[in-house]
Copies of this chain bind each other. A is one copy, B any other.
Amino acid sequence: MVTVPGVDIGRPAVVIIAGPCAVESEEQLLSTARAVKAGGARILRGGAFKPRTSPYSFQGLKEEGLRLLALARAETGLPVVTEVMDARHLEMVSSCADILQIGSRNMQNFTLLEEVGKCRMPVLLKRGMSATLAEYLQAAEYVMKGGNDQVVLCERGIRTFEPSTRNTLDLNAIPMLKRETHLPALVDPSHGTGHWWMVPRLACAAVAAGADGLLVEVHCDPPSALSDGAHALTPGAFEQMMKEVASIAAAVGRPLK
């Protein structure tokens, strides 16, 4: 069990983490944060430092983004998860985050893993896009070896030959991780599919498969999003998804709170 102020990740509740891919502005972040809180999310996500495939894409608001996340936390009371891309930013990111996210591309950035292993803060370690589950658990071991056992895993889709979806969400990973480790395991159906209209169905599937929570991207205006608008839910779609997820969670005997 990993504990964030006010939220236990791991059994029994299915914990929903939601928010925009990137923090873009005060208004964008606050309106989305309020909406996901109203919809039932328990933790707010939002990227201030954004690892982008191209150097010419929007790279995040960085320090200003962190400031806005702190503001959103103060306003909504939701704890915040945000990505740290570089050990040199760790102090700055830690001061605004409740959970440090290590992104897929950094799953084997071993010196970064060692640094977050020295923190005493929960770490959300996303699976690398072509990492085997054995490699994934060894990456978690890099964090835990440093003394930080507050690690949360997250399946987010793997790279396969199928071109119609951004990634192939590997839900087999959930029962396998549950068997191999005590760590909580979440699912990110947003990156795992790449299409907003598929997200609710895979969110339900993830909970049915035994996931301890979901990481879902929500944007107040997806067509204008500076990154990953194609898989962002509107607040209304998120609210609808939450009703469906609640039914599935109830069917597997788990509350959302």
What residues of chain A have their CB less than 8 Å away from a CB belonging to chain B?
A: 51-56, 85-88, 105-106, 108-112, 114, 129-130, 132-135, 138, 141-142, 145, 158-165, 168-172, 174-176, 179, 192-193, 197-198, 201-202, 204-210, 244, 247-248, 250-252
Contact = CB atoms under 8 A, between A and B. Distances in A.
B197 A201 contact: no
A86 B165 CA distance: 33
A51 B208 contact: no
20 contacts: A51-B110, A54-B141, A56-B145, A129-B130, A132-B161, A132-B164, A133-B164, A158-B161, A159-B161, A160-B161, A171-B171, A171-B205, A175-B197, A176-B198, A201-B209, A202-B209, A205-B205, A205-B209, A247-B251, A248-B248
B55 A145 contact: yes
A192 B176 CA distance: 13
Given A133-B162, A169-B171, A172-B192, A208 B210 contact: no
A172 B165 CA distance: 8
A240 to B, nearest CB: 14
Contact of A163 (B54, B132, B210): B132
Contacts of A247: 251-252
Nearest to A199: B175
A211 to B, nearest CB: 9
Contacts of A251: 247-248, 250-251
Given A132-B162, A138-B54, A160-B158, A109 B110 contact: no
Nearest to A187: B205
Chain A to chain B: the 4 pairs with minimum beta-carbon distance, closest first = A130-B130, A208-B208, A205-B209, A204-B208
A134 B164 CA distance: 8
B208 A142 contact: no
